[in-house]
Amino acid sequence: MEERVIVSDNDFDIEELKNMIVDDCDGAVVTFTAVVKGENKGKHVSGMEVHSYEGMTEQELSKVRDEALLNFKISEVLIIHRFGELRIGDNILGIVVSSPYRGDAFDACRYCIDRIKEIVPIWKKEKFQSGDRL
């Protein structure tokens, strides 16, 4: 089976990821892409560093995927998270959920992003144009 959880410093194309998991039996595919935003709390952002914990990040993302597959009527989930130096507008996170049911596809996608923010060891540090980092 192709990878369903990816942690990479390479960019991704959400359409290509979608094509990797779409099933002919499914009528709903929900995709989510998080990108680096150019402003946070009124301050202009110039870029972002994303750090992961090699091994544990993949392991925790797999737990999120397993939970989604267990809790929702979905066929497949693919999650990709980038690390490294990113610029404004760059992709950070991609989630693709395929399901026979649109409600479960939306709910599972939302569940994945919420759980990633809770348990997956990834840290983002925004760089501001003022030179500050947060």
Q: Which two tokens stand for residue 75?
A: 């066929």
Q: Is 71 in the site for another protein (CB under 8 A)?
A: no
Q: What are phi and psi for residue 3, nearest 5 degrees?
A: -60, 140
Q: Which of 51, 73, 87, 102 binds another protein (CB under 8 A)?
A: 51
Q: Which residues 10-29 are close enough to bind another protein by CB under 8 A?
A: none
Q: Which of 13, 66, 102, 123 binds another protein (CB under 8 A)?
A: 123
Q: Is 55 in the site for another protein (CB under 8 A)?
A: yes
Structural contact between residues 100 and 94, judged by C-beta atoms closer than 8 angstroms: no
Distance CA 18, CA 121 (A): 25
Closer to another protein at the Cβ: 101 or 115?
Answer: 115
